[in-house]
Every structure is written in C-alpha cells, then in structure tokens.
C-alpha cells in the first residue's frame, strides 16, 4: 500500500488496471472492496453513483465466485480485472471482470405460480439479478487455459457506461 495519494487520471481506450488475485475465501471480501475502491479512485470523472454501483456489483460477483466449490478449494483463487475498453467523446465504458473456475448462470425468472416477493426471498442468485439491473451490459465468458488441465475458467463481466463531463479523449468535443 502506498502512502502517497494517487492522482486521478482520465479514462482512455485500453486502460487496464493491474490484475488482482485473491484467495477463494469470503473473508477476503473487505480487501477486495478496498482494492476496487482504491482503483476506481484513480479514474477521473467517474460519477459517485456509478462508482458505488461498480463497487456493489464487484462485491456481489466476488461473493458469487467464492460460493462455488472450485474457487474455495485449497489454493483456489479469484481474479479481478478492470479496464476502460471504450472511451468515445463524452461517454466512457468501464469493464469489470471477476473470474474463478466455476459455472455461472443467469438468474432465473420468477415462477408464474409464486409471488415476486416470495421468489425474491427464496431464490439464490439475487446478486446476479442486482448486477443485471445496475450494469449496462453483463454476462459470462468461459475459456480453457492451455497451460493447465484444471478445466474451464469462467469470468463474470459487467460493463458500466457513463457520461463524462468533458471529453477525455484528447480531441475536440
């Protein structure tokens, strides 16, 4: 941890923060949240409400990831990636990815036979529903690491697009 405060910098296409690795254990969540908060504080022009949404969705994605047995195994890890793949004029897209080696599914819909209230109380995966409602886009991506035989890795990704106050692309707005 640095004692020198970081100066926020504008978003630019392709900006990537360092990939962070965490033990696949729920007790790591406070450190995970602290790191995402610190990384987001280095992005100039990120509205507070979007920062709060990203932090909440990141925490939910982390909790979802560590709830799966393969992430919790001894030596299991969770990885967090953060980037700004798109910066166009007065609009920026920030992408969050949280990965572990488990299968993630989209939340199911409420059954027609039960009330929405009882479904919300009973249905696991509410964190995914929250991500669905707060992110501009979200989904899962699976791939296999050719250097290991551990099986497929799954990443839950979410994108957050927001308007910037001024053009940070270096061009004329």
Residue 124 confidence (pLDDT): 59
Rounded CA gap, 125 and 102, in Å? Answer: 14
Q: What is the mean pLDDT of the chain?
A: 78
Helix axes 48-66, 29-40, angle to 10 degrees: 150
On the question of pLDDT at 121 being above 90, the answer is: no
The mean pLDDT of 90-94, rounded to a whole number, is 92
Residue 67 confidence (pLDDT): 80
Rounded CA gap, 13 and 159, in Å? Answer: 14
Residue 164 confidence (pLDDT): 82
On the question of pLDDT at 147 being above 50, the answer is: yes
On the question of pLDDT at 110 being above 70, the answer is: no
Compute how many other C-beta atoms are within 10 angstroms of the C-beta atom of residue 31. Answer: 12
Higher pLDDT, 132 or 108: 132
3-class DSSP assignment, residue 2: coil
Q: For the chain, first and last CA: distance in Å?
A: 37
């Amino acid at each position: 941890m640095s004692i020198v405060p970081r100066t926020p910098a504008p978003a630019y296409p392709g900006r990537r923060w360092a990939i962070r690795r965490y033990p696949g254990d729920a007790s790591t969540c406070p450190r995970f949240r602290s790191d995402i908060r610190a990384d987001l504080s280095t992005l100039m022009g990120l509205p507070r409400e979007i920062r709060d949404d990203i932090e909440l969705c990141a925490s939910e994605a982390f909790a979802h990831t560590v709830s799966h047995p393969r992430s919790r195994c001894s030596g299991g890890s969770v990885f967090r990636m953060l980037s700004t793949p798109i910066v166009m004029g007065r609009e920026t897209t920030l992408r969050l990815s949280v990965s572990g080696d488990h299968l993630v599914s989209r939340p199911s819909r409420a059954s027609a036979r039960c009330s929405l209230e009882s479904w919300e109380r009973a249905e696991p995966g509410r964190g995914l529903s929250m991500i669905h409602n707060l992110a501009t886009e979200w989904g899962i991506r699976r791939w296999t690491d050719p250097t290991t035989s551990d099986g497929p890795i799954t990443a839950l990704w979410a994108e957050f697009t927001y308007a910037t106050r001024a053009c940070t692309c270096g061009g004329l707005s």
